[in-house]
């Protein structure tokens, strides 16, 4: 274990089974055998999304899926309500503007959730809003937005419901059909625990009705092309996919299927609770309120008198644990522990051992073992 332990909000630690899968021989991506793998992966994705709709695999990062979710539904000057409660909310806003849309911003202070009533209010006041984008799990702030409750609101409006579950799918409750989500997408390298480089997206019938009326100004991420190619014999992607990463994602999804999605989500909830309790036991404070905090990443206020590079540098260089810093205006003010994917007590026992040693080195007066004690309490 004398190697770096990734405790980031993605990429996460990849299991040996997945590493072995991506080492398999590359096959022709236009062959029947690859078509079978593609279909299986797509079906397993839909199972995790909890949707009867088809899922499509994009060769790109989560941001490619973000772009696909906007660019395919947007005619010039269409209005999109972008909930902005962190960095990834901002990114969906920026994509909306980049593709000629008109972003209606619903700003939420970083560290808070969006209130479903605020979305309702905005929709009531503006009938032209074509879609609402919500980031489920804001890794930048460690907060999970209430996508189920927002779904209840959305059911009364025609606007499409677009949800970014890049860093929550497989680690928190997502029910695409149950919540009435029209477009949903996820990244391979987060809770799904495959290597980075792939994204998946699924679209409802209502979503397709909108997409079919749009003359997309995107080519690589044109979802109509994905739909057409996947309906061929054999099923294909429109452009060359990352064949070995499809193997990896397929294997990662099989692992989730064997584990059971509910069991996996519960495991993430336990890990998140353990992480928060351990943080408090070390006299550190959480950035967001506990009741809105994420199941997959915990944001922690940087303790007084220590810099980001001292804290994260020490834990990285001395103890080989990689934590995430804050982004944008939170840079230096918070640090973040990702606990997603194949998370067990083992990663958290290491992380809090490392954090205890780091804090002691930085002259903080903490009780030895106090952090790990909380991890063990939650995981017993």
> Which positions lie near a copy of itself, rule CB under 8 A?
1-3, 5, 13, 15-16, 319-320, 342, 344-347, 349-350, 353-354, 356-357, 360-361, 367-377, 379-380
Which is closer to a copy of itself, CB of 12 or CB of 133? 12
Which is closer to a copy of itself, CB of 201 or CB of 282? 282
- Return the structure tokens found at 137: 């799990």
Which is closer to a copy of itself, CB of 27 or CB of 370? 370
What is the widest separation between alpha-carbon atoms in the chain?
A: 65
| Sign of the C-alpha dihedral computed for residues 330, 335, 337 and 338 taken in this order | positive
Q: Give the integer Cα–Cα distance in Å for 249 and 49.
A: 14
CA distances from 220 to 59, 97, 134, 238, 241 (A): 10, 19, 24, 8, 11
CB of 16 to a copy of itself, least distance (A): 7
Which is closer to a copy of itself, CB of 255 or CB of 300? 255
Which residues does 197 contact at the CB level (< 8 Å), separation at least 6?
Answer: 59, 60, 61, 188, 189, 242, 245
CB of 188 to a copy of itself, least distance (A): 18
Q: What is the number of alpha carbons within 13 Å of residue 290 lying toward its C-beta?
A: 10
CB of 299 to a copy of itself, least distance (A): 23
Parallel, antiparallel or unpaired: strands 137-138 and 143-144: antiparallel
CB of 334 to a copy of itself, least distance (A): 24
CB of 189 to a copy of itself, least distance (A): 17
Distance, CA of 11 to chain centre = 10
- Return the structure tokens found at 82: 């972008």
Which is closer to a copy of itself, CB of 24 or CB of 360? 360
Chain length of the chain: 380
CB of 349 to a copy of itself, least distance (A): 4
Distance, CA of 295 to chain centre = 11
Which is closer to a copy of itself, CB of 15 or CB of 301? 15
CB of 354 to a copy of itself, least distance (A): 8
Which is closer to a copy of itself, CB of 215 or CB of 365? 365
- Return the structure tokens found at 38: 């593609």
Rounded to 10 deg, the angle between the 345-361 and 370-379 helix axes is 170
CB of 9 to a copy of itself, least distance (A): 18
Among residues 219, 244, 173, 184, which one has the least CA distance to residue 23? 244
- Return the structure tokens found at 371: 């952090």
DSSP 315-351: HHHHH-EE-EE--GGGTTTEEEEE--SS--HHHHHHH
Which is closer to a copy of itself, CB of 165 or CB of 358? 358
CB of 264 to a copy of itself, least distance (A): 11
Which is closer to a copy of itself, CB of 27 or CB of 357? 357
């Amino acid at each position: 274990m004398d190697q770096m332990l990734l405790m980031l909000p993605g990429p996460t630690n990849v299991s040996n089974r997945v590493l072995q899968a991506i080492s398999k021989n590359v096959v022709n991506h236009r062959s029947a055998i690859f078509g079978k793998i593609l279909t299986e992966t797509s079906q397993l994705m839909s199972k995790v999304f909890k949707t009867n709709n088809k899922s499509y695999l994009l060769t790109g990062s989560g941001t490619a899926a973000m772009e696909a979710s906007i660019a395919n539904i947007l005619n010039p000057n269409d209005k999109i309500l972008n909930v902005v409660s962190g960095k990834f909310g901002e990114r969906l806003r920026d994509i909306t503007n980049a593709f000629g849309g008109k972003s209606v911003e619903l700003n939420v202070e970083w560290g808070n959730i969006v209130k479903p009533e605020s979305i309702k209010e905005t929709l009531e006041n503006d009938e032209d809003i074509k879609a609402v984008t919500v980031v489920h799990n804001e890794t930048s702030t460690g907060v999970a937005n209430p996508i189920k409750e927002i779904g209840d609101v959305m059911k009364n409006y025609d606007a499409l419901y677009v949800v970014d579950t890049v860093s929550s799918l497989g680690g928190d409750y997502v029910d695409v059909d149950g919540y009435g989500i029209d477009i949903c997408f996820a990244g391979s390298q987060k809770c799904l625990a495959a290597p980075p480089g792939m994204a998946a997206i699924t679209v409802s019938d209502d979503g397709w009705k909108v997409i079919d009326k749009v003359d997309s100004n995107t080519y690589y991420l044109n979802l109509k092309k994905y739909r057409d190619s996947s309906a061929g014999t054999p099923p294909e992607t429109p452009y060359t996919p990352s064949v070995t990463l499809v193997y990896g994602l397929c294997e990662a999804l099989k692992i989730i299927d064997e584990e059971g999605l509910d069991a996996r989500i519960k495991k993430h909830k336990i890990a998140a609770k353990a992480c928060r309790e351990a943080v408090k036991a070390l006299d550190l404070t959480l950035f967001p309120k506990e009741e809105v905090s994420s199941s997959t990443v915990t944001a922690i206020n940087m303790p007084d008198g220590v810099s980001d590079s001292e804290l994260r540098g020490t834990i990285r260089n001395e103890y080989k644990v990689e934590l995430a810093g804050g982004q944008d205006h939170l840079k230096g003010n918070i640090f973040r522990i990702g606990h997603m994917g194949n998370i067990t007590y083992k990663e958290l026992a290491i992380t809090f051992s490392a954090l205890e040693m780091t804090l002691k080195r930085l002259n903080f007066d903490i009780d030895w073992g106090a952090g790990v004690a909380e991890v063990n309490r939650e995981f017993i």
